[in-house]
Amino acid sequence: MAKADTSTVTVIGLGAMGGQLARAFLVKGADVTVWNRSPQRAATFAEMGARIAASAADAVKASDLTVMCVLSCQAADEILAAPGVIPALGGRTLVQLSAGHDQEIRRQYARVEQAGGRMLAGGIVAYPFLIGESTTTILYSGSEPAFEEHRETLALLAGAQRFLGSDPARFGATFHALFAYYHAAYAGYLEGLALATAQGVALEDFSALIPGMDVMLSHHIPDAALRIRDAEYGGEQASIDTHIGGISVMLQLARDHGVQMHVMDAFIEYCRAAHDAGEGGQDIAAIYKRMVAGEKGGGTHQAG
């Protein structure tokens, strides 16, 4: 396979995700150096053609671009504190894909910048098996010149990458919010499955109907976005009170069959709070006002 133009890269951290990042670079023909705290993990990457660095500092020195993906920013801090690592980042780029709080990310960015290096921080919106796909998203923020310089190499990991601003922690505002959506949808599938199977529905039969619900959501979400933007909550399709009626039946069934539906319990609480605020006749998107209020049940969204 032909090498990518900007094809020299170091990967630090070879766990489930870091290992897949290294594999994707290797499969796409990049020149890869790897380092992992536990050296035994590196052997399979050597078989695929990667160079194994003797230390984290040597790994950083091997490439202009280092992608770090370890358990957490605290783990990343330990690696950055190892002899020679921070000085080696001078004139180079660190892409930090390890989970961390905004303050940890900004602190690391400042350390790298102080050493004369550049840093991007990012959030991987995928499980490892999706790394390398054209539709996979990684959100980045931090040094824009570094992103521009290395975008081609980074695109080997995720074809749908995005740069979201120069504050290195900025990507997190979108990244964590996206996972609120993902986890709630996933929990909804599992709760629904528990309710269906408790009543004798086959797992396969229930699961086969989920894509139809995805189609419904793919229409409903853009509609909700417009309603929220325009503060336009007419309940002509299905009001909050209509939803309360349907969800109440669902939750009664769950109780009858001993099924736990905590996510649905929380959802109906939002609906009831909206009803109590006199909004039961509005579209279901109006429960958003209960979420942005800051305090239970009060306040309204500021459109725009």
Tell me the torsion sign for CA atoms 53, 56, 58, 60: positive
Q: Which of 29, 31, 37, 64 binds ligand NAP (CB under 6 A)?
A: 37
- Choose between 127 and 203: whose C-beta lies nearer to ligand NAP: 127
How many residues contact ligand NAP, by CB under 6 A?
Answer: 23
Tell me the torsion sign for CA atoms 224, 228, 234, 240: positive
Is residue 102 close enough to count as binding ligand NAP by CB under 6 A? no
Q: Which of 69, 115, 169, 261 binds ligand NAP (CB under 6 A)?
A: 69
Nearest to 263 by CA among 188, 196, 207, 194: 188
Q: Which of 27, 52, 71, 217 binds ligand NAP (CB under 6 A)?
A: 71
Q: Which region among 65-73, 153-161, 209-217, 287-295 touches ligand NAP (by CB under 6 A)?
A: 65-73
Cβ neighbours for 155, distance < 8 A, ≥ 6 positions apart: 161
* Residue with the shortest CB distance to ligand NAP: 15
Is residue 79 close enough to count as binding ligand NAP by CB under 6 A? yes
Q: Which region among 12-20, 138-146, 207-215, 231-239 touches ligand NAP (by CB under 6 A)?
A: 12-20
Q: Which residues in the 111-170 window bind ligand NAP by CB under 6 A?
A: 124, 127-128
Q: Return d(Cα 38, Cα 14) in angstroms, integer.
A: 9
The distance of closest approach from Cβ of residue 134 to ligand NAP in the complex, given in angstroms and rounded to an integer, is 18
- Choose between 123 and 235: whose C-beta lies nearer to ligand NAP: 123
Is residue 13 close enough to count as binding ligand NAP by CB under 6 A? yes
Q: Return d(Cα 287, Cα 282) in angstroms, integer.
A: 9
H/E run at residue 31: strand 31-35
Backbone angles phi, psi at 19, to 5 degrees: -60, -40
> What CA–CA distances, in Å, run from 243 to 36, 182, 293?
51, 21, 21
Q: Which residues in the 14-33 window bind ligand NAP by CB under 6 A?
A: 14-18
Q: Return d(Cα 137, Cα 238) in angstroms, integer.
A: 33
Q: Can you spell out the DSSP letters for 127-141?
A: -GGGTT-TT-EEEEE
- Choose between 58 and 78: whose C-beta lies nearer to ligand NAP: 78
Is residue 188 close enough to count as binding ligand NAP by CB under 6 A? no
Query: Rule CB under 6 A: which residues touch ligand NAP?
Result: 13-18, 36-38, 41, 69-72, 75, 78-79, 97-99, 124, 127-128
